[in-house]
A = this chain, B = another copy of it.
Amino acid sequence: MVDYSIKSIGVLTSGGDAPGMNAAIRSVTRAAIFNNMRVFGIYRGYKGLISNEIEEFKTNSVSNIIQQGGTILKTARSAEFMDPEGRKVAFENMQKHGIDALVVIGGDGSLTGASIFGNEYDIPIVGLPGTIDNDLNGTDVTIGYDTALNTIMQSVDKIRDTATSHERLFFIEVMGRNCGFLALNSAIAAGAEAAIIPEISLKKDQLGELIEQGFRKSKNSSIILVTEGEITGGALQLAERVKQEYPQYDVRVSILGHLQRGGSPSAQDRILASRMGIAAIQALLENQRNVMIGIRENEIDYVPFKRAIKKEREISEELREVLLISSI
Contact = CB atoms under 8 A, between A and B. Distances in A.
Nearest to A19: B161
B325 A191 contact: no
Given A67-B157, A146-B267, A159-B258, 12 more contacts: A17-B165, A30-B326, A30-B327, A34-B325, A60-B217, A74-B164, A76-B166, A157-B264, A161-B261, A161-B263, A189-B270, A278-B325
Interface of A: 13, 17, 19, 26-27, 30-31, 33-34, 59-60, 63-64, 66-71, 74-76, 140, 146, 149-151, 153, 155, 157-167, 170, 185-186, 188-191, 217-220, 252-259, 261-264, 266-268, 270-271, 274-275, 277-278, 296-298, 300, 318-319, 321-322, 325-328
Contacts of A170: 258
Copies of the chain in the assembly: 4
Nearest to A298: B140
Chain A interface, DSSP helix/strand/loop, else mixed: helix
Contact of A188 (B155, B162, B191, B274): B274
Pairs A-B, 5 closest by C-beta atoms: A158-B262, A69-B161, A161-B262, A70-B161, A297-B297
Contact of A275 (B155, B259, B318): B318
A68 B161 contact: yes
Contacts of A267: 146, 149-150, 153, 185-186, 189
22 contacts: A27-B322, A60-B217, A60-B219, A64-B191, A66-B191, A74-B220, A76-B166, A146-B268, A158-B262, A158-B263, A159-B259, A185-B271, A189-B267, A189-B270, A189-B271, A190-B270, A191-B270, A253-B257, A254-B258, A254-B259, A275-B319, A277-B326
